[in-house]
Structure 1
Amino acid sequence: MRSTLKRIAFIAAFAALIIMAPSAALAFDETTSTLPPDMDEATCGGCHDPWPDAIFVDPNSGVHGGYTITTSKCSECHSVHQAPASGVMLLPGATTKATCLTCHDGTAGRGVYGTIAARGLTVGSSHSIEDTTVVPGGDENTGGAISVAFSGPGGTLTCTSCHSPHGADVVNAYVGERERSYTWGVIGTTNSSKLLKQSPGNSTTPTADYGSDWCLGCHKGRSSGLSAAHNHPADSKATTTTPFIYTNVAKLNSDTLTGVTELGTLAGTNRGYLMPFPRTAQQTGHAPICQQCHEDSRMVGTLSADGTQGDAAAYTITTPDGWTATDNPRFQNFPHETQNYRMLVEATSTAYYDDLCLNCHPVQQLP
């Protein structure tokens, strides 16, 4: 009886703790973030609900959408009469990046930028915000780099080059791999657009789904459909009428050694980064999408000696933001920054080796 009462008391106390606990934003430590004094951090929970699937699904969650006649979200970012003189669009920061970082500042390594360095590791590659105008592979005539006038200072790439801050004209929602931070650790992934624009950069051709065509909005010279530049095949609308996308690729159907594939999302396993040879029925007529080579750093596994089967490495995330060194993938920050060279799934911080190529091209099958 006494042990039963103790259990009841513990459950009641824990429930009270949950009710009393403040909500947390998804990319900053609300006790130390750099929000201006006129923004009340005590009410963060009014805009940010950290639990899985809440962001942008519940109209009361997030300042980036769900505006109604009864919400009060605009004033969280825009100050009608007291905005800094150095700012733009009545925003608290002097630039778009500065404004975004008033919340998404990666304090204590709890964000998409800063987590790798916070663990004492080297960033191998990143999308450099408000630092460059150069797009690698941006020239569709030569396949080489090109300078583009983005909307950041001096024409540099900025957050809104890829993201739509008000949730307008965004890609279809999908579940990614980033595990969200919270006081008690991992709280799960979210099903949302990630505020990705349908037309990133200066693209004039919108794409409804996240996949190769989204990347090609900026990296036009990497398309497999070009005649002037020869690239590794990548599934896109330039190569097929129904290309694979992030949520629909041919992947191994098990983490154990198998040559059988199924259609499904790239997220949540490492099975989509190995391609048995000969290709399976689901793979026939399709090339890999960009994200099957370029994604968060990880060990994907290996093909069998003859290449007919794949043995995918276990997908394990036990803590958010790379706190556990053995997690695979340890970080889920792509395409913001990764540990590896050119954001390749398997590489060092400075180069890649044949190990990457052998995930799809077994030695015994080479001509």
Structure 2
Amino acid sequence: MFAVGVAILFSGAALAYGYDESTSTIPASTEENCGRCHNPFGYAIFHGPTAIGVHGGYTTTTYKCKGCHTVHRAPAGGQLLLQGATIQASCESCHDGTGGRGVYGTIVARGLQVAGDHSVEATTVVPGGDAESGGSATMSFAGTGGTLTCTDCHSPHGSTVVAAFQGDRYRIANSTTRLPLVKNRLLKQRPGNTATATAEYGSDWCLACHQGRSSALSTVHNHPADSKATTATPFVYNRVARLDVSGAWTGTTVANQTLGFSNQGYLMPYPRTPQQAGHAPICQQCHEDARSVGSLSTIGNTALVTPFLVTMPDGVETSSNPRFQNFPHETSNYRMLVEATVSSFNDDLCLNCHPTSQLP
């Protein structure tokens, strides 16, 4: 399967080894090597908000369809003439570190342990999926045997997706511009084919499946999370109130800022700032890639943010903070929490917003 994907997507290239920069043979990012799938080729394919590669932009002169589909050589028992025997196998002909990066495999490749992930084609159970009890629920997904798979969250043809947002990642490992990636990540507006569409990535997108984690349920008491169930104008990933500086003590926040490409949105001074008033944190202010975010002062009215630093993606640089930018695929922390250990979390996470001097 993998060899077929490489032969089509990287014509003439030898085998490439995922997340092994010393042996990778992925060719240079040139129009000759990449232009047939990433068309039109140029700056926008790496940094533009509409850069979608093979996942959209089909015209009479593009060559994108055969990057994923094969008319006469599809595996027996496969789906939709995909080259892989399963949806996951088809996606991972590129998104395993050999072509597309930043999904699964980066943490193990650096010798660390995966502590939390969205398991692909392995389960039908959604933790916190039951809106009545808050417990787990069984859902029917698009993967083998009804399991969760890539296309339950992502739209492979770029249709009906959320608005673009700025995340923590660079577009490609060999980028020299070091610009943040502002894209929709091909995230579906209806993850898991749920009934209600979500136009922006935030708590409501997570709650489409994790319905029992809503803070508006009458039978379950959850930690507050900003969503359409709690306010008419909830914060989303690309629109939160975050601290105005990093690396210096501050108690001031700025409105309408992205959570991505910064660590300034993970601490909430107490009392809450005017921009934070009336809003709870969104899911991703507790659940995101593992990192050090800093701390509040003793009385909690100011915060010192640990600077955001990503010099290379995929955990290449151990000094990066966050080191990996793979959420919500896999993380190195327990339950995908921002601050935790591999097997548990402690009060460090809670103290990011709840200073001890303000506890009743």
Question: Contact 2:298–2:357 at 8 Å: present in 1 too?
Answer: yes
Determine whether 1:45 maps to 2:38.
Answer: no
Amino acid at match of 1:295: E
Equivalenced residues, count: 336
Counterpart residue number, 1:165? 156
1:56–1:74 Cα change, 3 Å: farther
Q: TM-score, normalised by structure 2?
A: 0.88
SS at match of 2:242: strand
Kindly provide the CA deviation profile for residues 271-321 of structure 1, in whole angstroms up to 9, marking residues without a partner as x: 100000001101111100000000000000000010000100010011121
Counterpart residue number, 2:249? 257
For residue 192 of structure 1, the aligned residue among 180, 183, 199 is 183
The farther-off stretch of 209-218 and 106-115 is 106-115
Q: Shift in Å at residue 46 of structure 1?
A: 2.4
Separation of aligned partners in 2, 1:34 and 1:267: 35
SS at match of 2:324: coil
Separation of aligned partners in 2, 1:209 and 1:147: 25
For residue 280 of structure 2, the aligned residue among 256, 263, 287 is 287
Q: Which blocks of at least 5 consecutive residues in structure 2 are unaligned?
A: 12-32
Determine whether 1:274 maps to 2:243.
Answer: no
Over the matched positions of the two proteins, sequence identity in percent amounts to 58
- Superposed, 1:1-367 pairs within 5 Å as 34-36=3-5, 39=8, 41-42=10-11, 43-48=33-38, 53-54=44-45, 57=48, 62-107=53-98, 110-183=101-174, 187-255=178-246, 256-263=248-255, 264-367=257-360
Of the two, which has the highest radius of gyration?
1
Question: Contact 1:113–1:336 at 8 Å: present in 2 too?
Answer: yes
1:271–1:61 Cα change, 3 Å: closer
Separation of aligned partners in 1, 2:226 and 2:53: 33
The farther-off stretch of 49-58 and 311-320 is 49-58
Separation of aligned partners in 2, 1:60 and 1:118: 27
Separation of aligned partners in 2, 1:40 and 1:219: 36
Q: Shift in Å at residue 111 of structure 1?
A: 3.2
SS at match of 2:8: coil
Amino acid at match of 1:218: C
Q: Shift in Å at residue 115 of structure 1?
A: 0.5
Question: Contact 1:259–1:276 at 8 Å: present in 2 too?
Answer: yes
Question: Contact 1:51–1:187 at 8 Å: present in 2 too?
Answer: no
Separation of aligned partners in 2, 1:207 and 1:134: 22
Question: Contact 1:78–1:92 at 8 Å: present in 2 too?
Answer: yes
Separation of aligned partners in 1, 2:6 and 2:291: 40
Counterpart residue number, 1:24? none
Separation of aligned partners in 1, 2:135 and 2:243: 34
SS at match of 1:291: helix
Amino acid at match of 2:158: G
Q: Which blocks of at least 5 consecutive residues in structure 1 are unaligned?
A: 1-31
Q: TM-score, normalised by structure 1?
A: 0.86
1:311–1:37 Cα change, 3 Å: closer
Amino acid at match of 1:258: T
Q: Shift in Å at residue 87 of structure 1?
A: 2.0
Separation of aligned partners in 2, 1:304 and 1:275: 11
